[in-house]
Amino acid sequence: MRTCIVSCRDLSGTEHSIEVVAESLYHAVAQGLRAFRENDWVGDIGHGQTTISVLVKNPEVEHKVRMLDFDRWLASGSRSPAEMNLKQRVRELLSKV
C-alpha cells in the first residue's frame, strides 16, 4: 500500500487532487475517480483521452493514465487471481458512486 496524490482536470478545466492509499496504479485511479464523482465541487470528468495523474510518494514517482486505457484494463480479462480480485474491488469502488 502506498500513499498517492491523484489529480485530473474536469471538463471545465479545473484541476482537482486528492490523497489516497492504494495497492496499485489503477486502484489509486479508481479511488480518485470515486472521490471526484462524489464531490459537488468537481465537474464532470471526461473519458477517452482525459488523463489522470497519480503521484506515488516515498519514493516519489508520477504516472499518467488515460481514461481510455483505464477502461480497457478494467474490461480486459485477468491474468491472475490477484488481478481478478483487484479488478473486482475497483469495480465495487466505482459502482458506489
For a pLDDT cut of 70, what percent of the chain falls above it? 98
Reported as a single tens digit per residue, the pLDDT across 32-61 is 999 999 988 888 888 888 899 999 998 889
Task: Please state whether the predicted TM-score (pTM) of the whole model is above 0.85.
Answer: no
- What pLDDT is attached to residue 88? 93
C-alpha span between 10 and 94 (Å, rounded) = 17
- What pLDDT is attached to residue 97? 61
pLDDT at 76 over 70: yes
**Of 80, 76, 79, 74, the residue nearest 92 (C-alpha):** 74
